Amino acid sequence: MVRVVRLADGSLTPGRALPGRGAWLCRDSTTCVDLAEKRRAFERALRGPIGTGVVDDLRRALGGTAGPTGREGSESPAS
């Protein structure tokens, strides 16, 4: 598990010892990040707005790829 914290600028960063409210995600799967984004769980758990593109930055920080994982049945991005 990895703890994610929203910084003052609205960005998300992983860090177990960072101060503030955090949300826990599975470490080795971008599926958890995708699901949290789809359900707007970051905004609810961290009690604040999440900026555009911030979740993609989090995926990169966690070692995943940016954007959807390409799972069958996943929603396509809104235009």
Residue pLDDT, tens place only, 8-55? 888 899 999 999 899 999 887 788 999 999 999 999 999 988 877 999
Question: What's the confidence (pLDDT) of residue 74?
Answer: 41
Domain-wise residue ranges, the chain: 2-61
- Edge-to-edge strands of the sheet including 12-14? 12-14, 2-6, 22-25
Higher pLDDT residue, 64 or 73?
64
Rounded to two decimals, the pTM is 0.70
Residue corresponding to tokens 């994982």 = 69
Write out the E strands in the chain.
Answer: 2-6, 12-14, 22-25
Question: What's the confidence (pLDDT) of residue 23?
Answer: 93
Question: What's the confidence (pLDDT) of residue 42?
Answer: 92
